[in-house]
Amino acid sequence: MQTVTTLAELRPATDALRRTGTLALVPTMGALHEGHLTLVRQAQAAADHVTVSIFINPRQFGANEDLDAYPRQLARDSAMLEAEGVALLWAPQPAEVYPEGYATNISVAGVSEGLCGADRPGHFDGVATVVCKLFNQVRPDRAFFGEKDWQQLAVIRRMARDLDLTQPHVDAIHSVPIVREDDDLAMSSRNAYLSTEQRAQAAALPQAMREAIGLIRDGAPVSETLGNLRDTLLASGFASVDYAELRDADSLAPRGADTGNARLFVAARIGGTRLIDNMAVE
């Protein structure tokens, strides 16, 4: 696996790969886990070569968020990617991505509003901006993102369509289903922040979501069921629930009694750690 950290090295490296086949990009912020490796494997199945980016994007972290504490483990991540047969690792420093005087922002209206957009102002601008830059830097044929960040996926799809990024660079943005631990908790780099006790309590999140979905499918009133879901999480050790909402899976418009194409989205905090999850209702 070749590792490059500057744009000057990246261009010839991606050009060389493209000369011998198609190129897939898996954008990450490192602290890799099985969920990321699933993205890598799906990318390998869909393209001749895979580039993984590892860049902890400062622009998607709010002032009071965990940028400084975010796990940085490049040597470990690099070994994992090498073992998977990844062709190229793109691991720039912030000054390479946002040089002195950097002044451009991409803001996607609509799908970025509400849910995590309400709790993390500016977060999706940061995501859209860096993903647009990654597409222009790597110029992949395909890109792979996890469904755990469903709203992020919707923002990226909208941005790629609106800015014509899907032609000629990225033919397809692929989404990969959430990879879960044995107790059903969605895999996340942030799970590493949880103490042993918090980690055990965190399993209440997917469990309460599945129970709520079962009740909604059986005809229980949506708002009462979501209220009970919040109460269950608080009683299970979660400190707060940022949101528990039903939204249309594609437009992310709020959904009520009509649950066709709906997904349940939840963000809840356990200790200082914010966990998110989403599941199809039907």
Nearer to ligand PAF, 14 or 28 (CB): 28
Q: Does 127 bind ligand PAF (CB under 6 A)?
A: yes
Is 36 a residue of the active site? yes
CA dist., res. 112 & res. 96, Å (int)? 27
Return the number of other C-beta atoms located less than 10 Å from residue 106's C-beta. 18
Q: How many residues of this chain interact with ligand PAF, rule: CB under 6 A?
A: 10
**Start-end of H helices in the chain:** 7-19, 34-46, 74-84, 94-97, 116-119, 123-138, 150-162, 196-202, 204-217, 222-235
Distance in angstroms (rounded) separating the CA atoms of residues 76 and 25: 20
Residue showing tokens 């400084």: 68
At its nearest, how many Å lie between ligand PAF and the CB of residue 234? 27
Only one of the segments 61-69, 125-133, 221-229, 241-249 lies at the binding site for ligand PAF (rule: CB under 6 A); that segment is: 125-133
Where does residue 124 fall: left (phi above 0), alpha (psi -120 to 50 degrees), or beta otherwise? alpha
Pairing of strands 2-4, 88-90: parallel
Residue 186 found at the interface with ligand PAF (CB under 6 A): no
Contact range with ligand PAF by CB under 6 A, out of 87-95, 107-115, 126-134, 250-258: 126-134
Nearer to ligand PAF, 77 or 233 (CB): 77
Nearer to ligand PAF, 125 or 242 (CB): 125
Active site residue ranges: 36
The residue ranges that bind ligand PAF (CB under 6 A) are 27-29, 57, 60, 127, 130-131, 149, 152
